[in-house]
Amino acid sequence: MPEGEYAEVADQQLDALESGPDPKLYNAVLDACELILSYPGRAQSASSAVKDDRGRIVFRLAVNGYREYKVFWTSDGPRIEAVFPHD
């Protein structure tokens, strides 16, 4: 997994993807995380933004090749908050 900050929820979701049936999905998600952690400005320009229930802006980056999967992240750090299918 790329080095950086991950919320506990994101760690659990990534662990589940790693042990899941689709290693290509897991690798695509890691590529998205790497983009976010290494090039947050580029990742932000490719992301949409939503507000969470606490009023924070959370970015949503689609996973290449698996557009239904999104990586949710915040610019503080940056930090990966969650990974799951989302419209």
CATH of the domain at 10: 3.30.2310.20
Structural domain including 69 reads 5-85
Beta bridge partners of 82: 72
Complete DSSP assignment for 37-56: HH-HHHHHHT-EEEE-TTS-
Strands (E), 9-65: 48-51, 57-63
The Cα 38–Cα 15 span in angstroms is 21
| pLDDT for 87 | 82
- Per-residue confidence band for 4, with pLDDT thresholds at 50, 70 and 90: confident
How many domains would you assign to the chain? 1
Tokens of 2: 């790329």
- pLDDT, tens digit, for every residue of 13-58? 999 999 999 999 999 999 999 999 999 999 999 999 999 999 999 9
pTM of whole model > 0.85? yes
